[in-house]
A and B are shown apart, each in its own frame.
Chain A
């Protein structure tokens, strides 16, 4: 039996003010379980919505009004919790620190694991609740054979958010409920309309909820003093320009470099110790092998030998065949069969099962790599029987970065 069925206590629903969490709350309330709606207030209380409101999507004062009206329509208790300081500590500081060190952050990942399923879940237990539900498009299930809680992609592949949930622990997954994870987005909206919820036709939230439009302007405002201009170098180490601060660049970026060149130039690396932006051509952006740290495994307890998976290194990407090679600690090496373009350190790498592609094996944070040879990868792939073709290995040259085949 699914151990989760044993204790069916109160459920806390994290309500963002959007249609997904509204329907999540509605579906639970309809089942007759006691449901409490919560909105985490992450914007400053003393600075209410300015005309140029920073928080104009999720979790803004308008979002609170929307969530409250849904809770009232469903006749469930609803509270707004002050998460200003915690959000700053766990999400915003992580976000700004990542950019300052040349990484590209995924702020939704710590928001899920440290806030919604972290401190909110802890508080919820204090209130007597046993579960936390959200409007995420993902599915969680108990797997009796392994005794593990497993995370699966959403039924609606276009909306799947499992990528942002990979860092949930077993304890957190055991408490997690994603009531809209089995719905298609249109079905969610249709249900919202049927239930008469005012947010039924509210547009989907876009981008990062706490950054208005331009993350660079946001960084300048938050941590401007820590951002220093520096040198842009090419792959040969030749200085070829000035940059505004590595925080303003992301691997793969082409615009805003201000360097004249016969070939299009891209950011291929950001060096925080030297405060340098490294640029190269498109062929320098392709990587087959990368190191992943702070790995959290979900479908399996440990990775003791190489394993074939499908992996993705950014949210908007179809998972591609790859191999996981265990490394000491909570690290592993991820080797793709085909080179991947513009892999950005700091982003999440998430792994899915080869034979059951909806199943999340685990994930971690992409580490900024030092130069390695593809020989390791070829060996590793050989070890786990992936059998990368001779051509691919030969085509690899000597570096991590190589052109597409």
Chain B
């Protein structure tokens, strides 16, 4: 039995998404900028896709959606585009310590250009207090960027509350919703966000397509210069098939969003409780309820995440690490570290992320195969082990 539980890394393409995309990789190959019938056909598909994404975010105005090559580009566009357009107003940007690297390193890039970046802390459960945002905002603050659902822990940030605070202070607010879009209801009005990033391949759509919602009136510069595509906000011939795929994937996610969220949360709890019952020394990282339904981040004390991932892979189970890379790594997960977790706990942390196709049988399989692996590792590491090998 092969079990894929790494859906926060990427998801399999839904067959219906592939079916929707195929014509645009074949006979409907037109360039949306062309005047002729081929071009018009492609243009129509692109704009339909744009409208679908806008509707999914509770927006009637489809021109607020700019297609990008993925979530990372959308994040970069948000941070660098706002910074470039607003730097005369101020050079202060607020993010959190647990952002995805797309935001974190875009902010590092801004800091190198002389912007000041404030990284807000999170508590031991990964939660962020909106008052921290209020306290951090200054007259020269031009942007607040906080992720919605954390990719490592699944913990949700209080986006609506933060959005209200930003609105009060007239500060542009961006949220990276790559992990939550399609899985939780998102309404940019209710959340008071000005910019929102999303990505196709996290919701059973294709890779290489994402989008940035840009509220009308938000002053920003383009990231990529060239033709006038995407209303001059993102140059380059549009990825029509990708956009169509992203839209179809979004529709499928919205069809049974609430039911799927409930089902995934049940499966996630079944996994967590099953492992905790079968093994001592298993701790959940992150808040128990304020989180995405499909992500479980567990610390398996006394073992190395990298080894667990490898051993599970040999059994046909795919998961990933809570840490960027472990085994005495120099770079433990910045998310878990920001939560103040001990080094041992961080190094033993693994992430299970479920998808629409995950079944109870798959969860039970993991609950069956993982405990003996962890027990064996704990035995090996506790025993008179070869780690102590011969001295030289």
Interface on A for B, CB 8 Å cutoff? Answer: 10, 36, 45-46, 77, 79, 81-86, 89, 94, 106, 109-110, 113-114, 117-119, 121-123, 125-128, 167-169, 171-172, 175, 294, 296, 365
- Taken together as a complex, chains A and B put the C-alpha atoms of A365 and B391 apart, in Å, by 10
| B303 at interface by CB-CB < 8 Å | yes
Q: Note all chain A residues with C-beta closer than 8 A to B387.
A: 118-119, 122
Which of chain A's residues has its CB closest to B376's CB?
A126
- Determine whether the beta carbon of B307 is less than 8 Å from that of A127: yes
The 3 A-B residue pairs whose C-beta atoms are closest, nearest first, are A118-B389, A126-B377, A85-B328
Do B389 and A294 touch across chains, with their CB atoms under 8 A apart? no
- Which residue from chain A places its CB closest to the CB of B329 in the assembled complex? A82
Q: Which residue of B lies closest to A105 (CB)?
A: B392
CA distance A109 to B306 in the complex (A): 26
Please report the C-alpha to C-alpha distance between residue A45 and residue B324 in the assembled complex, in whole angstroms. 11
- Residues of B in contact with A, size category: 20 to 34
Q: B386 contacts the other chain (Cβ, under 8 Å)?
A: yes
- The answer to whether residues A82 and B307 also contact, given A126-B380, A172-B389, A294-B392 and a CB cut-off of 8 A, is no
Q: How far is the CB of B108 from chain A (nearest CB, A)?
A: 13
A-B contact list, 21 entries, CB within 8 Å: A10-B314, A36-B314, A45-B325, A46-B331, A79-B310, A83-B328, A85-B328, A85-B329, A86-B327, A86-B328, A106-B392, A113-B392, A114-B392, A118-B386, A122-B387, A125-B380, A125-B386, A126-B373, A126-B381, A167-B392, A169-B386
Residue numbers in A under 8 Å from B388 (CB-CB): 118
Given contacts A126-B380, A167-B391, contact A121 B386 (CB under 8 A): yes
Q: Is the CB of B330 within 8 A of A117?
A: no
Hey, what's the 0/1 contact readout for B361-392 against A, CB within 8 Å counting as 1? 00000000000010011001100011111111
- Cβ–Cβ < 8 Å partners of B326 in chain A: 82
Number of A-B residue pairs at CB separation under 8 A: 96
Extra A-B contacts (14), CB below 8 Å, given A122-B386, A127-B314, A168-B390 = A85-B328, A86-B327, A114-B389, A119-B386, A121-B389, A122-B381, A126-B377, A127-B310, A127-B373, A128-B311, A128-B314, A167-B390, A169-B389, A169-B390
Given contacts A118-B387, A172-B386, contact A126 B303 (CB under 8 A): yes
Q: Tell me, in angstroms, the Cα distance from A114 to B385 when the chains sit together.
A: 11
Q: Give chain B interface residues in 300-340, CB to chain A under 8 Å.
A: 303-304, 306-307, 310-311, 313-314, 325-331
Residues of chain B lying within 8 A (CB to CB) of residue A81? 306, 310, 327
For residue B304, which residues in chain A have a CB less than 8 angstroms away from its CB?
123
Docked Cα-Cα span, A89 to B304, in Å, equals 18
Residue in A closest to B372 when the chains form the complex, CB atoms: A128
Q: Determine whether the beta carbon of B386 is less than 8 Å from that of A175.
A: yes
Cα–Cα distance between A229 and B321 once the two chains are bound (Å): 47
Pairwise interchain contact A365-B327, C-beta atoms closer than 8 A: no
